[in-house]
Amino acid sequence: MTGMQQIRDLAEEWEVRSSATPFQGRVTGVRTDEVLMPDGGYARRDYQTHPGSVSVLALDERQRVLLVRQYRHPVRQRLWELPAGLLDVPGENPLHAAQRELYEEAHCKADQWRVLVDFYTSPGGTDEALRLFLATDLAEVEGERYEAHGEELQIQTARVPLEQLIAGILAGELHNPTLITGTLALHAALSGAGLAQLRPADSPWPARPFPAL
């Protein structure tokens, strides 16, 4: 449309006078940067460094979404979520990581994969980028289940109709941001041009570049 403003995020990097990592854990850390502000002064920005994540919205033939429920200690709640995991294997393709998580957490596989949405989980406090895939044509994996450990031992699974999830989100009963983002994005896609509008599973991801499959 003539005169319509193009709305898209823009890559930009402000000058950093100094940078330190006061804490580095096994996967994530904390970085402190002194950043040049528009008024000429410097401000300190503390944020979590993160390797990135993948998640899977697995949709079955009855328009039900595959969920897992896990205890999340920082918020002291057991949350319904989508299968998800860290990009903590060096060089691993995000699609392979997502397929692994779907198997490990739900003992499922899918024949069709698309990118549903890419987002930063909390850009004011962490550099974590997450790629959320839509997986369809689901089937249970043959053979033995993945041997769970630690908190994964208490994972529960369920298949919930999409409309029920939307109602739960709007009622304030579901709180996981990836579940909320994925559910509403899928609803928007189905209400619009359909799933054919979604990007291929190997689409570029500038936030976390990866080698081709």
What CA–CA distance (Å, rounded) separates 203 from 8? 17
Spatial neighbors of 204 by CB under 8 A, at least 6 apart, are: none
- β-bridge partners, 44: 34
Q: Is 93 left (phi over 0), alpha (psi -120 to 50) or beta?
A: beta
Q: Could you tell me the pTM of the whole model?
A: 0.92
Q: Which of 27, 157, 147, 149 is nearest to 86 (CA)?
A: 27
Residues 141, 145, 97: CA angle, nearest 5 degrees:
70
Name the β-bridge partners of 65: 59, 160
pLDDT tens across the length of the chain (213 residues): 556 889 999 999 999 999 999 999 999 999 999 999 999 999 999 999 999 999 999 999 999 999 999 999 999 999 999 999 999 888 889 999 999 999 999 999 999 999 999 999 999 999 999 999 999 999 999 877 756 665 666 789 999 999 999 999 999 999 999 999 999 999 999 999 999 999 999 999 999 998 765
61 is catalytic: no
Q: Which of 140, 151, 152, 173 is catalytic?
A: 152
Please tell me the distance from the alpha carbon of residue 1 to that of residue 7, in angstroms, as a whole number. 13
Q: Is 153 helix (H, G, I), strand (E, B) or coil?
A: helix
Q: CA nearest 97: which of 206, 207, 202?
A: 202
Strands (E), 40-182: 42-49, 53-58, 64-72, 77-81, 84-86, 108-120, 129-140, 156-161
Helices 177-191 and 162-170 sit at what angle, rounded to 10 degrees?
A: 120
